[in-house]
């Protein structure tokens, strides 16, 4: 039976390879989800210098519109500000075991909160009238 067909041993070997390929595919899918969490969290951090060329009045108006829709990042508890990764502190292997299960609306909200935070930094740094009240964060910008 060996010379032209697969014997019982050949079928077992083939099934083993299929199982190994399935396990490899599952591992790749889970790794893609883990990498996505880090990328999504990084998208929450926005450079505030891009807003420095926008007139103060216009920037405050844009910021206020975003705050009305998404809320203020200042209202978030410590550890949940845009770009912070509190979930990595509790995972034994950090970002490698923290897949991103947030839905599209949650991701959009977090990105908007990052934009608002960056706008606030630009407004504070340029000392625009109508700057958000609160303590200044030295070195951020």
Write down the pTM of the prediction. Answer: 0.62
Q: Does residue 105 sit in helix, strand or coil?
A: helix
Q: Is the pLDDT of residue 2 over 90?
A: no
CA 1 to CA 17: how far, in whole Å?
Answer: 21
**Is residue 133 one of the residues assigned to a domain?**
no
Q: Which domain holds residue 120?
A: 35-125
**Is residue 54 one of the residues assigned to a domain?**
yes
Best CA proximity match to 88, nearest among 80, 78, 98, 79: 98
**Is residue 52 one of the residues assigned to a domain?**
yes
Instruction: Please state the rounded mean pLDDT for residues 4-28.
Output: 64
Q: Burial letters for 84-108: b for 16+ Cβ neighbours within 10 Å, e otherwise?
A: ebeebeeeeeeeeebbbeeeeeebe
**Is residue 29 one of the residues assigned to a domain?**
no
User: 23 to each of 8, 29, 31, 98, how far by Cα in Å?
Assistant: 23, 10, 12, 19
pLDDT at 46: 86
Q: Is the pLDDT of residue 138 over 50?
A: no
pLDDT 10s digits, 49-98: 999 999 999 999 999 999 999 999 988 887 778 877 655 555 555 545 55
**Is residue 101 one of the residues assigned to a domain?**
yes
Judge whether 104 and 43 are in contact, CB under 8 Å.
Answer: no
**Is residue 134 one of the residues assigned to a domain?**
no
CA 43 to CA 35: how far, in whole Å?
Answer: 13
Total domains in the fold of the chain: 1
Name 109's Cβ contacts closer than 8 Å, sequence gap at least 6: 70, 71
Average pLDDT across the chain, whole number: 74
**Is residue 121 one of the residues assigned to a domain?**
yes
**Is residue 30 one of the residues assigned to a domain?**
no
């Amino acid at each position: 039976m060996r010379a032209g067909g697969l014997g019982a041993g050949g079928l077992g070997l083939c099934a083993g390879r299929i199982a190994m390929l399935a396990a490899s595919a599952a591992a790749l899918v889970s790794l893609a989800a883990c990498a996505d969490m880090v990328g999504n969290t990084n998208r929450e951090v926005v450079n505030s210098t891009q807003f420095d060329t926008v007139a103060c009045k216009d920037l405050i108006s844009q910021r206020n519109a975003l705050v009305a829709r998404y809320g203020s990042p200042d209202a978030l508890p410590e550890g949940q500000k845009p770009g912070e990764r509190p979930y990595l502190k509790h995972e034994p292997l950090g970002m490698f075991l923290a897949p991103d299960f947030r839905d599209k609306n949650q991701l959009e909200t977090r990105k908007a909160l990052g934009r608002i935070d960056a706008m606030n930094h630009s407004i504070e740094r340029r000392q625009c009238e109508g700057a958000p009240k609160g303590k200044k964060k030295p070195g951020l910008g």
